[in-house]
């Protein structure tokens, strides 16, 4: 059932009269409180400013992305090191120290 079948355009234009008819029916059945209108009028939205809540939301929006970036960085470094160890394509970066170690190992293995 679509939303067009549930509510017609006529219902939308006559919303106020439909609400009043429903209240009258409830009054006839005796189910509506006499203080109902007073309760509706007296309720106002309460807006509170909570400093701890603002700090908590700020921490979530500012600190968590920073931690996420750190974890992604460490994951990338770890994946690159694993790729380098197993010789995956694209992970063949040789720092000077590793080149010297590889050459020393090759030279020592030739004479043994």
CA distance 108 to 112: 7
CA distance 80 to 92: 9
pLDDT at 69: 94
Cα–chain center distance at 79: 26
pLDDT at 47: 73
The residue ranges of every structural domain in the chain are 3-42, 51-110
Give the phi and the psi of residue 49 in degrees, each rounded to 5.
Answer: -105, 110
pLDDT at 43: 61
pLDDT at 68: 94
pLDDT at 109: 72
Residues of the chain falling short of pLDDT 70: 1-5, 30-46, 90-93, 110-112
pLDDT at 110: 65
CA distance 46 to 39: 15
pLDDT at 15: 79
Contact (Cβ atoms closer than 8 angstroms) between residue 32 and residue 23: yes
pLDDT at 73: 95
Contact (Cβ atoms closer than 8 angstroms) between residue 91 and residue 83: yes
Sequence-separated (6 or more) residues with CB below 8 Å from residue 18: 11
pLDDT at 50: 86
């Amino acid at each position: 059932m679509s939303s067009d079948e549930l509510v017609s355009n006529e219902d939308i234009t006559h919303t106020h009269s439909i609400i009043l008819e429903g209240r009258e029916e409830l009054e006839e059945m005796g189910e509506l409180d006499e203080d109902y209108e007073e309760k509706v009028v007296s309720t106002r939205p309460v807006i509170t400013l909570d400093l701890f809540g603002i700090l908590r939301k700020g921490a979530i929006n500012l600190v968590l992305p920073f931690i996420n970036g750190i974890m992604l960085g460490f994951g990338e470094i770890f994946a690159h090191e694993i790729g380098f160890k197993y010789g995956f394509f694209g992970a063949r970066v040789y720092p000077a120290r590793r080149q010297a170690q590889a050459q020393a190992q090759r030279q020592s293995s030739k004479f043994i």
